[in-house]
Chain A
Amino acid sequence: MRAGGVERGWDVLRFVIKRLIISIPILFLASMLVFVLVVKAGDPLEDLRLRPGVTKAEIAQRSHQLGLDKTLPQRYVTWITHFVRGDFGLSIDNQPVRPEVFRALSVTLRLVLLAQVLAVVLGILVGIVSAVRQYTAFDYAATGVSFLFYAIPTFCVGVLLKEYGALKINDFLEARGHSRIIKTIGDSTPNFCTPSHPQNCTFGAQLLDKFGHYLLPTLTLMLISYAGYSRYQRASMLETLNSDYVRTARAKGLRERRVIMRHAFRNALIPIATIIALDFGAVFGGAIITERIFGWQGMGTLFVNSLTKIDPNTLLAFMMVTAMAIIFFNLMADIVYAYLDPRIRLG
């Protein structure tokens, strides 16, 4: 057993190394493709050209500062040689890109991870119960709710939650002498805790402020993701519950709880584990719509803003961070898949 375990450990390591080596040319090709797409996306100097009174010399000078006067291959080589050394370059407004990308990433992770974890937990729970209690009132209700949130676009959920979950409830609270607890933008109230307002500096007050800010965006993301996860989990669970080995387990006289948790649940996790791992990779790209609706300056907003400003270095950094995250979580998905299903041989 021990020797087998060690061998399996080496298998996993070999698999990871192999996948990582394969991912290098993939990233390299992706970077070239992304570079060309970004450079061809538009002219960063368009606004400058259309500013009355701006001279050709001023445009040439700006073009030189941004390196736009170089050929495409020259620009790519300059960018990639800096990027691999951890220098993401400067944005179109001359700000270092790396700290900006990591700041945006931290915002996104704060927003999305909580929602994602809640959606996974809730989705799996509801999916299992729905499958076990197939065609009961609970199943019908859960199916209806899932399809509802599956069908509504994210921006609708967000805007509706703000309209009815924030504005109306806050109006109701305010009319009864309470403060407007539920917030519609950002992750905290600026200058909330100050010496002139010591009552806002207590742990409880700050927790409430955070709660007010996180509630709606977390709900928006959670409901959308939950809808998918609960449907996948239900279908997967039903398939395993109807499989021969579960029937055999029941025939052997095992208790129903043991059959469900030990035999059906673990196997039913295999497909959803893959989906969840891939979704976590996508998380790094930000929740563009939710961030925009709730005024969070995360990866999604960074992407939209840099695209609008035709900001090549920021766009490239965004793309590369997202690509690396997706490659990494793809690898994670494969490892988890192999862990959950021993029949799958790595490599």
Chain B
Amino acid sequence: MRRAPRGTKALAALVGVSFAVAACGSSGSKSGSASTTAPSGSTTSGAPTTAASTSTSAAAPTGGTATYAQEEEGTKYNNATSDATNFANTVVTNLLQPQPFIINNKLGFDLNKELMVSADVTATSPNQVVTYKINPKAVWEDGVPIDCKDLYLAWGAQNGKATKANPDYDPKSPNKTDATGSPIPKTVTDFNPASTTGIDVISSVACSDSNKTVTMTFSTPFADWKSNFAGNTALVPAHVLEQKTGIADITKVDLSTDSPDTQKAAAFWNTGWANWDPTVALSGSWYRIKEYKKGESLTLVRNEKYWGTPANLDTIVFRTINDAKAQSQALQNGEVQVIYPQADPAVADSLSKMSGVKFDPEAGLTFEHLDMNLKNPIFQDIKVRQAFALCMDRQDIVDKLIGPVDAKAKPLNSLLLMSNQQGYTPHLQQASLDKQDIPKAKSLLESSGWVLGSDGVYAKAGKKLAFRISEKGIARRQQTVQLIVQSCKQAGFAITDDSDKTFNAVRLPKGDYDVALFAWVGQPTLSSPESIYVPGGGQNWQGYNSPAVADLYKKINTEFDDAKRLDLVNQADQTIINDVVSIPLFQLPDMLAYTDKLQNVTYNGPSGATWDANLWVLKS
């Protein structure tokens, strides 16, 4: 009888001491900066202000804090390097880095009118010239102007021109390949950009007008010029790089040529903006970094030096919650206000039933599709390709695989434009290839000389209508193939599932497949799919060769009128769809959910929900 109380006391003491130690262990703020923020979850009411893309009028901010749950922690302020380019970074840099154009939720580019006075193509002949006029009031959070230096650095770091000798290259064995079978390059670049597309064709950058006017001259036309320095490639503060490297004026360094100064600049640009160190990761936008606790949270507060319409909320906190269910429970418990979890039917179901929560799944940018390998004799016959498109029931696939998350999901009917993208036209529907039609599929095959065998499979010249659909072996793709196998069996196809974990990494780039099932990511840059559908393109693995499409892409890449350009893209899409070389299936759903106390939250595929978080308002 006497032992139990003593044990209880000991246990209570142990628990008490443990919590006391834990409480003492993290009471201090790592940044030590003064704080004016409210704890997570506090709310203040108010009206929305206006977006940077539409106005520069000032309005009183409304205050409050919102916490955004990320599935993965952002790791790098400079999101333009090849080791970054991460969505988890983008949702943060949206609020920190200035960008001349903002990618909107229709995958278009809006001029950032608070940063830019103007940004236009000022000449097209003999060379394309783009002139940026930066708002004279635009400054980084330390008061240093946002100016030509920042654009010069962005260009120099991402043009891929400064190269140095590759120590692994052996001039005595120039044809030697590396362990992956690729030739060893003679040189490697000083800077480490994720992509040089569109910036590599800028031949010169000139600064004028007290560095507030920037003139970029292109060696070859690049109609997607608005994508330069937007999204992942938004501007980083060049003066911080100057301070850290000792370079007096970055615009005096030829960043297209390897030199000691270029190497110093590259070393800092590649690695100096890792993490979210508030002393170097400066803001030139609505919010600035107040505090970063790795693995715990990143806190942004309103940037007092922002010259345009101030953001409404005082504070936006990013927290990492990997699990979708945990995100939804944290939202329900009021610990976070916005979540963007991986699509999950059970979580979607619980979110749709949650009171006080707004949940509306959207079609995301990642879309599944089937590519037919045109080197395979079977698929050189367009009637076979058409019959294949007609034998599958895409709506059934969508209902079974996407419906549990997004009941309003529909099959995708375009390859070049997403259903929520400006200019989307359902070309597969227009070609009458969007719905299952078994009799028509059989009729097409028979008109091409295929004869139905006693085993229920068509054959021609002794060769059966049999092929594999190759995929990476994830459950959704295996289910997709099973549904296609079953439905196409009715039309005399003998299809097998070629599930291979290494398919995407090894076989797909070699074109080692009959039909490939994988995903592309829809892009706001309309020229991007050229590499997929034009001969010689880096990702044209199926061997598609259409002079009409190649010609259209030449025009797409030189047309600066947005409306005409969209029309050309639709012509290319229609041509590819009519050639039936690829069949779009569906866009994977994205799940954005937020407390109904938060207003003005909108979905944006490429940039995430924080793209206009300056407009978020918390009502009490």
Contacts and interface: CB of A to CB of B under 8 A. Distances in A.
Q: Do A and B come from the same complex?
A: yes
Contact of B529 (A52, A117, A295): A52
B294 A292 contact: no
B332 interface: yes
A342 interface: no
A49 B532 CA distance: 12
A63 interface: yes
A32 interface: no
B523 interface: yes
A195 B34 contact: yes
A95 B75 contact: yes
B320 interface: yes
A134 interface: no
A55 interface: yes
A184 interface: yes
B184 interface: yes
Given A55-B538, A69-B180, A210-B22, A295 B523 contact: no
B73 A191 contact: no
Contacts of A313: none
B326 A189 contact: no
Contacts of A191: 35, 37-40, 65, 291, 297, 299, 315, 317
Interface in A154-204: 159, 162-163, 166-167, 170, 180, 182-197, 200-201, 203
A249 interface: no
Contacts of A292: 322-323, 326
A187 B19 CA distance: 11
B124 interface: no
A306 to B, nearest CB: 12
Contact of A295 (B182, B320, B539): B320
Contacts of A60: 182-183, 185
Q: Which residue, B274, B315, B325, B333, has most C-beta atoms of chain A within 10 A?
A: B333
Interface string B302-344: 0000000000000101011111011001101111100000000
Contacts of B317: 190-191
Contact of A305 (B72, B299, B504, B521): B72
A188 B72 contact: no
Given A118-B15, A195-B35, A184 B179 contact: no
A108 to B, nearest CB: 11
Interface string A25-52: 0000000000000000011011011111
B333 A94 contact: no
B82 A65 contact: yes
Contacts of A50: 504, 518-521, 539
A72 to B, nearest CB: 7
B271 interface: yes
A167 B295 contact: no
Q: How large is the interface on B (under 10, 10 to 19, 20 to 34, 35 or more residues)?
A: 35 or more
A58 B23 contact: no
B330 A295 contact: yes
Given A50-B518, A61-B82, A197 B299 contact: no
Interface string A54-90: 1111101111110011111010000000000000000
B180 A56 contact: no
Interface residues of A, number: 82
A70 B11 CA distance: 55
B505 A49 contact: yes
Given A43-B505, A200-B39, A301 B322 contact: yes
B333 A170 contact: yes
Contacts of A203: 23-24
B53 interface: no
A114 interface: yes
A98 B528 CA distance: 38
A53 B188 contact: no
Contacts, number: 240
Contact of B182 (A69, A71, A100, A114): A69
A184 B333 CA distance: 8
A54 B291 CA distance: 35
Contacts of B183: 60
Contacts of A74: 179
B584 to A, nearest CB: 14
Nearest to B539: A52
Contacts of B620: none
Contacts of A100: 294
A128 to B, nearest CB: 10
Nearest to A292: B323
B308 to A, nearest CB: 25
B271 A94 contact: yes
A140 B81 CA distance: 62
B531 interface: yes
Nearest to A63: B180
Nearest to A302: B295
A55 B65 CA distance: 42
A56 B538 CA distance: 6
A119 to B, nearest CB: 11
B76 interface: yes
Contacts of B179: 68-72, 74
Most buried by A among B15, B18, B36, B197: B18
Interface string B571-592: 0000000000000000000000
B322 A187 contact: no
Given A60-B185, A69-B178, A186-B296, A180 B84 contact: no
Interface in B23-58: 23-27, 29, 34-40
A210 B299 contact: no
Contacts of A68: 179-180
Contacts of A141: none
Interface in B3-25: 7, 10-11, 14-15, 18-20, 22-25
Given A52-B528, A191-B291, A295 B322 contact: yes
Given A190-B297, A195-B36, A295-B320, A122 B11 contact: yes
Nearest to A170: B333
A336 interface: no
A232 interface: no
Nearest to B523: A52
Given A195-B36, A196-B37, A93 B75 contact: yes
A159 B326 CA distance: 8
B299 A190 contact: yes
Nearest to A188: B26
Interface in B525-570: 525, 527-532, 538-539
Nearest 5 pairs of A and B residues by beta carbon:
A43-B505, A69-B178, A297-B295, A190-B297, A94-B83
Interface of A: 42-43, 45-46, 48-58, 60-65, 68-72, 74, 92-95, 100, 103-104, 107, 110, 114, 117-118, 121-122, 125, 159, 162-163, 166-167, 170, 180, 182-197, 200-201, 203, 206-207, 209-211, 214, 292-295, 297, 301, 304-305
15 contacts: A49-B505, A53-B531, A57-B185, A62-B82, A69-B184, A74-B179, A92-B83, A93-B75, A118-B15, A167-B333, A183-B333, A184-B333, A190-B40, A191-B297, A214-B19
Given A93-B76, A292-B326, 5 more contacts: A52-B521, A107-B295, A184-B330, A190-B291, A191-B297
